[in-house]
Structures are given as C-alpha cells and as structure tokens.
Structure 1
Amino acid sequence: MKVGIDTFGCEHGRSGIGSYLSSLSQILCNTEDIQFEFFGAEIDRYTYARDSNIGFESVILPDTERAEKAWHMLALNTFAKKQKYDVLLFPASSYAMPFLFRVPSVAIVNDIVSELFATKTIAERLRIKHSLKKVNKIIVPSLCVKKDLKRLGINQEKITVVHNGINHSLFYPRAALTSESEMIKPFAIRRPYFLYASTMSSPLKRHVELIKAYEIFKKKTALPHRLVLAGNEGSCSESIKKAAANSPFASDIFITGYFPHESFPALYAGSEGCLFPSEIEGVGLPVLEAMATGIPVACSKSGALQEIAGEKAILFDSSNIEEMAMAIEKIAVDAKFRKSMIKEGVDWAKKFSWENTAQETLEVLKSVLK
C-alpha cells in the first residue's frame, strides 16, 4: 500500500495542523507492506521528511493559496495516479481537497468546522462541505468535532475519533525553576507567569477576555504573576495588542508572537499554570502538553477542552470574566489543590501518545481499501 500525504495548508509546520503532521511524521515509517510519501511545496521536504525514511515529491506551483487550491481541484487526481498512490491522506482538509476523489482518501478534520465557516466565503463553505461528504473516511480528534460534522450533515459512519498524541520525550515534568528570569529561546521571560499558547485568529479564542480576567486577579491579589501570550499572529492581533497596551498591568503582559514548538516544553515548565479560554478548540493539545509537563490547567468548558481535559483541569465559562479570574486565583494561591492537579494531570496525559495516534490512523487508511 502506498500512501500519499498532502502537506499543503500545513503552514510549513508553524500551525497547529503543521505541528500535528510534524509529530505524526516522526512516528510513521516505511515498511515492506506500507510506503508513505509526502507531497507539497519543496520547502516542506525539510519540514516533514528530513528525519525519516519517508520520501517527498515536490509539486512546483506559484506560492499562493489560489494556485494551490486550483491544483487540488484540477490536477491532484492525475498527480496521485502518476505517483501510484493507493490512498491519500489530507491533514489540512479544510484548506484544500479535490472536488471529486479518484483515489481512496482520508481527511483529517481538527477544526470545529461550523466555527471555521464564520471566516469563509459561501463558495468556500460549499467546497469544504462537498469534499467532506465525498471523501471516503474522516479522522477527527474529539467527539466534539464529530458532533459538529453531524450538524453539517456529514455521514457519521465514516468518521473515526483518533485523539492527538503527546511527545513525551519533550513534554514531561521537569525540575522546578528557581531563578526569576529564565532564558527560553528565543526570549528571556521573567517568572512567575501564566501562559496562554494559541494563535490570535478569532475573537472566540478569548484573548481579550483573558486579559480582563487577569486584571481582576492582579487587582484582587497584588501578586507578581505575569501573563504570557504565545502563538502566531492572526486577524485579531491588533485588538489583542491594544487590550494589552491599554491594561493597567501592561508591563506584566508579554506577547511573543510565533513561538518555536521545540521551545514550548521549557515555556510550560517555567509557568505557574496554563490558561486556555478558547471556545473553538477541536483538539486542545496545549492543555495535554501542559499537563504532561507538570503544570496545572484552567480552561474553557467549550469545544473539545472539557472532553480532552477530563476532570483534571479547572473549567470555566470563557464569557464570564469573573469566573475566569477566580480560576486564575485558585491556581496561584491554593498550594494543596495545585499539587493535586499537577499529579492528576501528569497521570491523565500519559494516556495520549503519537504512537497510538499513528497506529489508529494507519488502521483507518487500511480500511478504505477493504
């Protein structure tokens, strides 16, 4: 069986789905029975295939979203036949897939698609919905995403829940940091701090509400804790930066922009807690990574976060700023509760691994040929 893996739309490893594919590619390997091959822009050869025995086939296109989507619609099926793929895997399925599938295909949907539609044109919504209805199988990271696809009229029988994994060689409990200022490449970040790691792509990520909750926490406790917002900039960057700049605690709010994934373990380990107020997460992987690193988590009840975090995190209503502030305070001041959260979180995170994700993904790929 030869599996073609599409790298278009994965932002060269710099997005959530890019990180997903990078992690998966480190586990997948060619065997006598199964051969994998990545295809996409030449730059991705060094993103996904560099440290594996998996081949890479370059697709020469203008570096534009329009050209890449047109190629998927008009030329991908011919390309797949030429490469003799038995199965295609589309990690960034909402970015681009063909209109019709001439080769058995599996789509990975890590987004809550109905929320994603808020930023899409009518034509894009129809394209995504049509492709998801036509593709052979769909892999989702949570029951939350599966239920969302049901609301969009997608056949539930072809959807399989495969949870994302954690790289436990990177994310594990580390010795407590003692110095106030720690160099976490490429930044020097002063402790103590709370961390929110997420792209600034939607108001429903609730960055602004978190800043307001943080202000309430600071006014009430007068504690020295800072707030670090780490993640790619997006359509909401300016409003978030404005809210931080106008805060009475602006000097204690640090916005990093893009943060290298390999540096996140140290960033988590140095923090007092992971705060995750987003309401539109289909995966919630940073919550699990934080738990695995041995820090307490407070997160939204919405999206997949309650499902992924189980009962090992403080859950709050992201639209209730006072409730969010209370959760921050609980992590900061209740040492006994904090210790219990850390132990339970580490144990919970052990259930998630990329080895399991890869094996379950492989079973889905095999099933489309039966």
Structure 2
Amino acid sequence: MRSPFFVPNATAMRFALNAMQVRAAKSGVGQYIHALMESLLEVERNHHFTLYCSPQNVVNYRFSAPNYEARVWGLPERARTFRLLYEYSFLPGELKRRGYDLFHGLSNFLPPRRVCPFVVTIHDLTYYVQPERCPPVRRRYWYAMTRRTVDVADAIITVSHCSKSDIEHFFPHTKGRVHVIPEAPHPRFRPLGVARDCSGLGAAGIDFPYVLFVGTLEPGKNVERVIRAFDAIAQDFPSHHLLIVGDRGWLYEGILAAAENARAASRIHLLGHKGDQEVVELMNYCDVFVFPSLYEGFGLPPLEAMACGVPVITSNRSSLPEVTGDAAILVNPESIEEISEAMRRVLSDDAFAGLMREKGLARAREFSWKKAAKETLRVYQLVLGNANS
C-alpha cells in the first residue's frame, strides 16, 4: 500500500499520540481513539506511532502492527489530580527526550509547553455551550485547559462543522487552524442477517419488540424525556418495551426516578453498560432507535444504529442534523410530544419504517474510519510542512 506520506528515500517519522486521559471503560472518546488508531495503522505502514496509555486503559489499545508501540506512562487512573499534574509537568520532557516529530492529543487537551509540532482533537465544547451539564470544579478545570490547548496547537481537529463553529466562536484566533474530520461507525455495526432468536438476545431473555436508547445516563442525553415519551404511547403498543443502555453519569438520579414512576415502569429496563457486540445486537433488533440529545459534538450512536439498518429518531440541534442528514426523523428534543409522535409513526407505519432503514444504511456508508485516518495524516503533513517552511 502506498503511504499517504510516501516520499522516496524519506526517513520514517515518529508520531506520539495521547490516550492517557481516557478511562479504562470505553467511552465515546475511547471508541474514537481505538477506531482511529486501528485505521491509521492500516493506511500508514512507513511511519511509526507511539500511543501513550494509562496502566488501566492499555488493554484497549493492543495492536500488532510493526510500526506501533503502546507506551504505558504516567500515574494510575485513581490518582486523577496528581496524574494530570504529572502528565503535564513531565510529558513535554518525555516527548523531547524521545525525539518525536509530532504529538497528537486525542482527547481535547495538550501539554502547556510545546516541544514539537502539536495537533489536538477537540471533540466538542459542551462545557462552554451548555455549562450546566458539567460539575463546576470540572468545568473550571476544562476552561483553563482548553484555553492553554488552543494557544499551543498548530492544528485542531474536530468531528463536525457544528463543533468547528463552536470552537471558532469561543476562540476566534483559531480560525484557519480548525479541520473537520468526521467520525464513522465501526465496521461491526452492520445488519447481522440472522433471526433474533439465534442471537445473544434470545439467551438474555429479550424476546419482545422494543425501542432502544444507548448513551450515558445524564441530563444532557435527555433520557428522562425519552422515558416520558415512551410512557405516553405505551398503552397503544402494549407489547413494546423501552431498553436503556449506558453507564450512570452525572445527576443520573432523575432518570432512575422517571423510570420507576412511569405508568409503563414494568416495560422500561435500564440495562447498564453493555459490551460492543451486545450493543450491535441490541441495535439490530430494535424497532426504532431514539437519541434526542440536547447537544453533541458529533453524535455517533445514531449513525451506528443507521449502519445496523434501524430507523432513527434524533434531535434537530447541534451536530445531529449534520450527521444524520435526511436519513433520521428530527425532533425538538425538549418536546415530549414530538418525540412520542415520532415513535408512534415508526411503530405504526411499516412502509415509513422501511424507508428510514434504507435511508439510514445509505447515509452510514458515507462515513469511513479509513477516510478519517487519511485526512488525519493530511493534517499531520500540513503541520509538518509549515513547521519546516
């Protein structure tokens, strides 16, 4: 395979990427890092990649490519405050000592001292756009880190034009340095083509039709309104259940209360965290996927559901219309009535549901991690060209 950086007789470059800020459990950012790293190693065989990992998350990033190293560095995850201070005090020296050609911070932040060309991926600015979604102490920390990061970054990668607009709004001096590289569904998200009773769901006792939500249980994901919207139509669809998949996040208690107090409480199931393949199966066999989030930098779950051939209801705000195009039913996320009526339409109109499945599959095919990896390498090339000019 011809390298995107291919120059005859050129010396191989050494790129360092940072995954240390990501927890051991695969979050959305963790999924991004895994998929991007996997694809970078697929499309680029000449240059060398070192991924800095924490002792806890390194298990998620073991790749067998000869031009890849997972380097465990820093302090344990449980020592969060000291770990961050350690990373940002000593990481620049580590990068300089090992002589990297470029450093890429994959999770919003960069060290304060620039010792080689710096690239950062800023996934979103939720804590600026909707500050009420973040605990105050964490928000102040993120504000300070983001200001320093955009000042030292040679290039900023973000995942949607919506996020680019937010970055340039809050930090006008970044204009000209922000590059949009969309995410994509992992290839495992696809129609499985087997009957549900032959899948793992049958063994798990899920033998009923259901509506599905996947995401962190926190107010910004709008899960309470999903519950209330389902409750509003539950009596008209007595065989359907609502399955809610995701870890508990900040201020999750209201979501638990909404589920417990619903009239259809016996048909509302909070399943907690599920593994990658379990989520694929759950998406494949749901009748509709509902994701009316209040704000997303990209919003990958709706695209993953589309890739599985499932009708999608999502928000008409932030990046979600940009990502889903005309292949999803867009609703006002603050209107329980709009969410419930969208559910009703999909569940009662087979022809419409079939049309949305076909549109979703076509839309999902427009996104590719291989394309994202190649565009990321082009940003590296641009930054290195500017550094050497």
Scaled by the length of structure 1, the TM-score of the pair is 0.92
AA in 2 matched with 1:213: A
- How much has 1:185 moved relative to structure 2? 9.7
Q: Alpha-carbon deviations, 1:70-109, whole Å to 9, x = none?
A: 123211110111222111111112xx43123222111111
Tell me which of 13, 21, 25 is aligned to 2:33.
21
CA distance 1:190–1:82, change in 2 (3 Å): farther
Whether the 8 Å CA contact 2:283–2:310 is kept in 1: the answer is: yes
List aligned pairs for 1:180-259, cutoff 5 A.
Answer: 183-184=200-201, 187-201=204-218, 203-219=219-235, 221-259=236-274
CA contact (8 A) 1:10 1:91 kept: no
Structure 2 residue aligned with 1:3:
15
Measure the CA separation in 1 of the matches of 2:255 and 2:16. Answer: 39
Conserved? CA contact 1:146–1:156, under 8 Å: no
Alignment match of 1:151 (pick from 162, 165, 169): 169
Give, in whole Å, the separation in 2 of the partners of 1:347 and 1:214: 28
What secondary structure sits across from 1:157 in the alignment?
A: coil
**Deviation digits for residues 250-304 of structure 1, max 9, x if unmatched?**
1111111111123221111111111001011111111111111111001011121
Residue 308 of structure 1 is matched in structure 2 by 323
1:143-182 alignment to 2 at 5 Å?
Answer: 143-154=161-172, 155-168=174-187, 170-175=188-193, 177=195, 179=197
Q: 1:112 maps to which residue?
A: 125
In the alignment, the residues of structure 1 paired with residue 289 and residue 163 of structure 2 have an alpha-carbon distance, to the nearest angstrom, of 23
Query: Could you tell me how far 1:307 is from its partner in structure 2?
Result: 0.5
Contact 1:129 1:152 in 2 (8 A): no
Cα drift, residue 32 of structure 1: 5.9
- Structure 2 residues without counterparts, runs of 5 or longer: 1-12
RMSD: 2.0
Preserved contact between residue 242 and residue 268 of structure 2 (Cα < 8 Å) = yes
Aligned residue for 1:368, secondary structure, equals helix
1:50-89 to 2 correspondences below 5 Å: 50-53=63-66, 54-63=68-77, 64-89=79-104
Mapped partners of 1:13, 1:160: distance in 2: 28
Deviations 1:112-145 (A, max 9, x none): 3424644234343122122123211111110110
Tell me the secondary structure at the aligned position of residue 26 of structure 1: helix
Per-residue Cα deviation, 1:311-349 (whole angstroms, up to 9, x for no partner):
111000010110110001111011111111111111111
- Local SS of the residue matching 2:120: strand
The CA deviation at 1:187 is 4.5
Q: Relative to 1, partners in 2 of residues 1:185 and 1:282: Cα closer, same or farther, differing over 3 Å? A: farther
- The CA deviation at 1:39 is 1.0
The secondary structure found in structure 2 opposite 1:43 is coil
Tell me whether 105-114 or 44-53 shows the greater mean CA deviation. 44-53
Match of 1:251, SS state, is: helix
> What do the CA deviations read for 1:193-221 (whole angstroms, capped 9, x no partner)?
111111113x12110011111111113x2
Over the matched positions of the two proteins, sequence identity in percent amounts to 26
Could you tell me which of 319, 334, 355 is aligned with 2:349?
334
Matching of residue 142 in structure 1 with residue 155 in structure 2? no
Post-superposition Cα deviations, 1:9-44, rounded to whole Å, max 9, x if no partner, equal: 222251000011111222222856411011121333
Bigger mean CA deviation after superposition, 349-358 or 46-55: 46-55
In 2: Cα distance, 1:300 partner to 1:59 partner: 39
Q: Distance in 2 between matches of 1:79 and 1:185?
A: 51
In structure 2, relative to structure 1, the CA distance for the partners of 1:186 and 1:159 (3 Å cut) is farther
Q: Normalised by the size of structure 2, how large is the TM-score?
A: 0.88
Structure 1 stretches lacking a partner, 5+ long: none
Figure out how many residues of one structure are paired with residues of the other and give that number. Answer: 364
Cα distance in structure 2, aligned partners of 1:178 and 1:56? 38
Which range moved further: 286-295 or 147-156?
147-156
The residue matched to 2:234 in structure 1 has which SS? helix
